[in-house]
Structures are given as structure tokens and as C-alpha cells.
Amino acid sequence: MGTGSLGGAAPLARRVLAELMGTAALVAAVVGSGIQASALSGDTGVRLLANSLASAVALGLLIAQLGPVSGGHLNPVVTLCAWWSRRRAGVRVPAREVALYLAAQPVGAVAGALLAEAMFGRAPGGAGWSWATRERADAHLLLGETVATAGLVLLIVALERLGRARFAPLAVAAYIGAAIWFTSSGSFANPAATVGRSLTDSFTGIAPGSLPGFVAAQSLGALLGAALAGLLYGAGSPAAGRATGAAGAGGPVPEGIGGGVAAGAGGIAGGAAAGASGVAAGAGGIAGGAAGGPGAVAGGVAGGPVPGVASRGPGTA
């Protein structure tokens, strides 16, 4: 069994810092946008629209930014999913690394929630601050949270197994933005963020007493999502998925949920350049054939494929 990491190419200390800061930024965006939306509108639908849009955009940007550094997990569920995938592929991730990721994320979430509160004049200990009072313990809410987390895990595993990790920033952000609307729980789908949101008595808060049920639902959802992924995609290794992505992008795909963005862009650019070269070569051949007569045109066509047109350029495979 080989040794690997949870994602990213940076030293462990930098990766753990990225997870802490990224989770803090994510929760600050979720909580802050909820407070701002409540201040600007009394319509619950408008509030939810503003909050879901800000949350999804922030999540996608953070994954794209931090994916090459730490893998851009920002979520204990994602970290455990990455650890399990690598373990099944015969890659051992040091227990210390997993523990540091899992510790950094809730610390970041708490810091992000308190930062959002402070930005809106509700500093902890002040007159405007209190623990969350919104109870979220009903069975239908726990079912919604199970579904939201299962869908997130299924999506992440699918992207990795299919070699499409480069689409993770957009795909994961789009899924969370949609799940906020189609699940009864509002799609927390993140135990660390759930803990952080217990520190804000606002639109996105959750009462501390509701934490155990929500975290249990998220854990169940993660197991369910992993099981569904196994049924749909088999026991393929993440290494195989990354190799497929590398072949399609014309280069190695960085590890992590946000990996492959730069490689994918480079591959598309390479493919476009190769295609343009082939079109120019084809145009030259036709012009030469026209000057030499119909026989030359026929000879040029029969002579073989046009470079860059009959064969796909890098990044288009």
C-alpha cells in the first residue's frame, strides 16, 4: 500500500491552514448573506434566493482557489470521502493528516460564523448576539439533510471516478445552490458548517440542541451516498479517474475536489490551437488543388487526413 495525501501539493501545514481559512470564508459567506438578506427583505423567498446564490458562488470560488493547495474540502464529509476512496485504491493517508483536516474545519467554521456576526454589529458577548434559537429537529428535516449529504457525496465520487474533477467548482456549487431549494433542511450537508451556524441567531442558524440530529443525518447521508456511488460506478480507484482526466486534458490533473481546472483550461486551449492549425493546413491544400486543377484537388483529398482536423487535438479527447 503506497502513501499519499488528501489532496493538493502544498506542505501539510499550508494545507491545514487552507482548510481552516477556506471553511471560515465559506461559513462567513453563508451566515453573512443570511443576515444581510434578512435586513433588506421581509420576503422569505427573496432571503433564500439571496442566501443560496451567495453561498453557491462563494463555495465554487473557494474550491477553485484552494483545490490545488489542500484539495478544497472545507467539509469533514468530503475529507472522509477522500480518505476512504484513497484507502480502497491502496493509498494510505497518514492518520495525523486526516485528524488535522477534521480539526481545522470546525475551528474555521466557528471563526467564520463569529466573523460574520461581528461584521454586522453582533459581536459575541454584545447586546445583539446570542446562540441560535431556530430548532431543526423534525424528522422531515433530518430526512432532507440525509438526502442533501448523500447527493453531495455521490456527486463528488462520480466526478472523481469519471475523471471530471476539473468540473468540481462549478458542479458542487450548482448542486448546493439547488439543494438549498429542493431539500426541506436547506442542505447544510457539512458537519463543520453546522457547528459554526449554531453560533448565529439569524436566518441560517441552527439551535445547538438540533446539532446531534443534523450531524447524525449527515453521517448517514454520507454512507448512503458512498454506497450508491459503489453501485453506480463500482470500486474504481481515484487514481484511475485522475488518469482518465489527464488523458482528456493533455496533462496531469491536480488532486482534490477542485483539481483539474488549470489543466482543463490548458487542454481546451491546446485543442483549439491544434484545430486552427489543421484548418489552415486544409485551406492551403484546397487552394493549391484549385490552382493545379481538379486532379490536384482529388489527389489532395485522397492523400490522407488533414492534420489537426481528422485527429482530435489535446484537451478534446
- 89-148 pLDDT, tens per residue? 889 999 999 999 999 999 999 999 999 999 999 888 777 788 999 999 999 999 999 999
Quickly count: other Cβ atoms within 10 Å of residue 1's Cβ: 9
pLDDT of residue 194: 98
pLDDT of residue 127: 73
Average pLDDT over residues 303-307: 40
- 271-288 pLDDT, tens per residue? 434 444 443 444 344 333
- 205-248 pLDDT, tens per residue? 999 999 999 999 999 999 999 999 999 998 755 444 343 333 33
Quickly count: other Cβ atoms within 10 Å of residue 297's Cβ: 17
Average pLDDT over residues 195-202: 96
- 139-182 pLDDT, tens per residue? 999 999 999 999 999 999 999 999 999 999 999 999 999 999 99
pLDDT band at residue 15, thresholds of 50, 70 and 90?
Answer: very high
pLDDT of residue 226: 94
pLDDT of residue 250: 32
Find residue 2's DSSP bridge partners: 91
pLDDT band at residue 88, thresholds of 50, 70 and 90?
Answer: confident
